[in-house]
Amino acid sequence: MHAPVLRVLGWRRSSVTKIGVVVFPGSNCDHDALHAINEILHIPAESIWHQSQDLSGFDAVILPGGFSYGDYLRTGAIARFSPVMNAIARFARSGGLVLGICNGFQILCEAGLLPGALMRNQGLRFICRHVHIRVETTATPFTSAAPHGQVLRLPIAHAEGSYVCDAATLADLKRNDQIVFRYCAPDGRLDPTANPNGSLDAIAGICNYDRNVMGMMPHPERAVEAALGSTDGLFVLHSLVLSLARQPAAAVS
């Protein structure tokens, strides 16, 4: 899924202006995301400082993993008030694509752009290893290039990755096909022992009702080269790029 494959599937460099990667104090996966977009997919990507309120010129925004503001209070609770989040909320409302990874997922939940919350892992330990997740829906801009039921091997690195929500929200997520990824066994079975953090219904990623905002705990940007142990993260990033080529740019105010 490098540039030659993108060309075969209809991607044109002129179709995509730029992807922004937000940098909060404490972000530590922003360079990984920039490397994956710039060097592996050969798409222009730039950092967006957390105090910026201008997203003009960006076609998609990634909130990367890390420990924004030291994870004080709770993960994402302070980052949610960064000036850039007002711009991201407007960007999302206008149809812009927003991907939150790990800490970025936590921030999106705190900001109300995604339902539910991320709590301490079952066992109360930081987990850093590869896991398997199953693609539950391809009807999102972030999974359209993956077959339904595809199993991806991606790394996780979190202490607060247990997704929770109330019963009504879970019912809505299921009814609206908003559960994007579930933790699974290597063969795709939903096995409780394959759920690394005790996440409700084995949820590893969800999208909003409009399907243009997605959060996920595993790190696709850390699985884009064979030397990293997996290239399965390209399914997510590749889907994002192809989706951008198919839609008009978001209107940012």
In this structure, is residue 251 part of a structural domain? no
In this structure, is residue 57 part of a structural domain? yes
Check 110, 136, 160, 221 and give the catalytic one. 221
Q: Is 35 a catalytic residue?
A: no
Going 33 to 36 to 39 to 43, the CA torsion angle's sign is negative
74 — pLDDT class (breaks 50, 70, 90): confident
Q: Which residues of 216-241 are buried (b: 16+ CB within 10 A; e: fewer)?
A: bbbbbbbbbeeebebbbbbbbbbbbb
In this structure, is residue 71 part of a structural domain? yes
In this structure, is residue 86 part of a structural domain? yes
Q: Mean of the pLDDT values across residues 8-20?
A: 58
β-pairing verdict for 60-63 and 97-101:
parallel
pLDDT tens digit string along 213-232?
Answer: 999 999 999 999 999 999 99
> What's the total number of domains in the chain?
1
Kindly report the CATH number assigned to the domain that includes residue 200.
3.40.50.880
Q: Is 102 a catalytic residue?
A: yes
Kindly report the pTM of this predicted structure: 0.91
Check 102, 109, 165, 184 and give the catalytic one. 102
pLDDT tens digit string along 126-176?
Answer: 999 999 999 999 999 999 999 999 999 999 999 999 999 999 999 999 999
In this structure, is residue 137 part of a structural domain? yes
Coil, helix or strand at residue 60: strand
- What is the structure's pLDDT at 9? 41
Q: Is 221 a catalytic residue?
A: yes
Instruction: State percent of the chain over pLDDT 70.
Output: 91
Structural domain for 79, as ranges: 3-246
Check 50, 132, 158, 219 and give the catalytic one. 219
